[in-house]
């Protein structure tokens, strides 16, 4: 199987306006930078983006927000982006804020064929509005449904021609679950190797979930908060 595509343009063929997308990353860590930049070039609009955060004003998903390409965000925390907050408070941008653990599990469920599940997170808050409640072990839980996407765009450290992926450190975060839940999953990697080079024991995401893989041209890997201590 050869899932390799030669360019980010080839990777995103078929990605159209008004689609629902999943984008991996936590803050700016583990985001598919090259694909996001290409989506700006493609000028696709009306997108529904499922991603834990919204980037910062001039990097990550913030670039798509600047270009007014996103119609709706489904995220858990959007605090780092002033343009985001402005568009949200003015009503230009629809936002669904959902608990981070529920977001992760909803993506996993979407890829795993579990249409819905019960979780205690959000019971008693506005997150529970309109949702079925059931008690387990004497404690109320709310019913959350699976999330899927037309395209899931993930970033990995290493990948092979079969689409098997290995992630690095905390750049892993949402990428594995989103890879499972996309109808078409695109993986951008730092290192692309032939099948057989990655140890099967060490692969984090099996290639069965990945349809297209490409080596990113460059990764800025911006740091949001550079915190250090004295030697």
Partner 1 sequence: MLDKQGIAQRIAQDLEDGWYVNLGIGIPTLVANYIPEGIEVEFQSENGILGMGPFPIEGDEDADLINAGKQTITAQKGAVFFDSAMSFAMIRGQHVQLTVLGAMEVSDHGDIANWKIPGKMVKGMGGAMDLVASADNIIVAMMHTNKRGESKLLDSCSLPLTGINCVKKVVTNLAVLDIKDGAFHLVERAPGVTVEEIKAATAGKLVVPDHVPEMSF
Where along the sequence are the contacts to partner 1 (CB under 8 A)?
26-30, 52, 75-80, 85, 88-89, 95, 97, 99-105, 107-108, 119-127, 157, 167-177, 204, 221-231
Distance in Å, CB of 114 to partner 1, minimum: 12
Distance in Å, CB of 137 to partner 1, minimum: 11
Question: How far is the C-alpha of 102 from the C-alpha of 127, rounded, in Å?
Answer: 11
Please, which residue, 40 or 89, has the CB nearer to partner 1? 89
Question: How far is the C-alpha of 135 from the C-alpha of 14, rounded, in Å?
Answer: 43
Distance in Å, CB of 7 to partner 1, minimum: 24
Please, which residue, 42 or 121, has the CB nearer to partner 1? 121
Distance in Å, CB of 222 to partner 1, minimum: 7
Angle at 26 between CA 20 and CA 27, to 5 degrees: 100
Please, which residue, 45 or 119, has the CB nearer to partner 1? 119
Q: What is the DSSP letter of 93?
A: S
Question: Which among 6, 37, 57 is positioned nearest to 153, based on CA atoms?
Answer: 37
Contacts of 95 by beta carbon, 8 Å cutoff, 6+ apart: 72, 73, 74, 75, 78, 88
């Amino acid at each position: 199987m050869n899932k390799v595509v030669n360019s980010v343009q080839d990777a995103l063929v078929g990605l159209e306006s008004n689609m629902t997308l999943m984008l991996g990353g936590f803050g700016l860590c583990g985001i598919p930078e090259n694909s996001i930049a290409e989506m700006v070039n493609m000028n696709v609009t009306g997108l529904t983006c499922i991603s834990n955060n919204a980037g910062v004003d001039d990097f990550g998903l913030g670039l798509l927000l600047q270009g007014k390409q996103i119609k709706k965000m489904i995220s858990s925390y959007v605090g780092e982006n002033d343009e985001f907050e402005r568009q949200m408070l003015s009503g230009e941008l629809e936002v669904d804020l959902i608990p981070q653990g529920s977001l992760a599990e909803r993506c996993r469920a979407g890829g795993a064929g579990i249409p819905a599940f019960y979780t205690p997170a959000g019971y008693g808050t506005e997150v529970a509005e309109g949702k079925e409640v059931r008690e387990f072990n004497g404690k109320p839980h709310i019913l959350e449904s699976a999330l899927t996407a037309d395209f899931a765009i993930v970033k990995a450290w290493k990948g092979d021609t079969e689409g098997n992926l290995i992630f690095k450190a905390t750049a892993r975060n949402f990428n594995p679950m989103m890879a499972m839940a996309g109808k078409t999953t695109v993986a951008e990697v730092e290192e692309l190797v032939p099948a057989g080079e990655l140890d099967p024991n060490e692969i984090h995401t099996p290639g069965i979930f990945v349809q297209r893989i490409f080596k990113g041209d460059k990764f800025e890997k911006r740091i949001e908060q550079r915190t250090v201590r004295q030697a």
